[in-house]
Amino acid sequence: MRNAAWYAQFAKSTAHFCGRPRVFVLAVAVIAVWIITGPMFGFSDTWQLVINTGTTIITFLMVFLIQNTQNRDTEAIQVKLDELIRATKGAHNALLDLEELEEESLDAFRTKYQALASAARAELSRGLKDTGTPEP
């Protein structure tokens, strides 16, 4: 298995596993044990360092795993939306890769669609329908 495929599967499995209620309960239990052992260790610097180091390492690694999962999910959603645009009669194929545009180009599209939405709301307030394809 390729390294990227292995990592993707590992990230997906880990993110799925860590999102379960049992894992959250386990994390709370670890913190509870740490708090309970505080008096035994005199709330020492080492006692504090154990939880700080452990949580920092876990958080650091989870950021990468969750980001990988989020990136994959976002890309899948984009492909699905692109297919809906492509397959819809009258849809603008120029919208297929908006996520790849520079900010200025994206703002221009956003402004155009905000104007369309505003016009549709005005039509609704006058008792008209807001469905259909607006005139260019």
Q: Which carries the bigger pLDDT value, residue 56 or residue 120?
A: 56
Residue 94: what pLDDT?
87
Residues 118 and 90 in one domain: no
Q: Which domain holds residue 134?
A: 101-136
Residues 46 and 112 in one domain: no
Q: Which carries the bigger pLDDT value, residue 26 or residue 98?
A: 26
Residue 121: what pLDDT?
92
SS3 helix, strand, coil % of the chain, rounded to 5? 80, 0, 20
Tens digits of per-residue pLDDT, 50-80? 999 999 999 999 999 999 999 999 999 999 9
Do 85 and 96 contact (CB within 8 A), yes or no? Answer: yes
Query: pLDDT tier at 112 (50, 70, 90 boundaries)?
Result: very high
Residues 14 and 77 in one domain: yes
Neighbours of 11 (CB within 10 A): 20
Residues 58 and 107 in one domain: no
Residues 78 and 28 in one domain: yes
Average pLDDT over residues 101-122: 92
Residue 33: what pLDDT?
96
Residues 110 and 88 in one domain: no
The structure tokens 């703002």 sit at: 107
Query: pLDDT tier at 136 (50, 70, 90 boundaries)?
Result: low
Do 82 and 97 contact (CB within 8 A), yes or no? Answer: yes
Average pLDDT over residues 95-113: 91
Number of H helices, E strands in the chain: 4, 0
Residues 88 and 109 in one domain: no
Residue 91: what pLDDT?
87
Q: What are phi and psi of 64, to 5 degrees?
A: -70, -40
Number of domains the chain is built from: 2
Q: Check whether 8 has a pLDDT greater than 60.
A: yes
Residue 83 and residue 133: Cα distance in Å, rounded?
A: 19
Query: pLDDT tier at 135 (50, 70, 90 boundaries)?
Result: low
Residues 54 and 115 in one domain: no
Residue 134: what pLDDT?
60
Mean pLDDT taken over the chain: 90
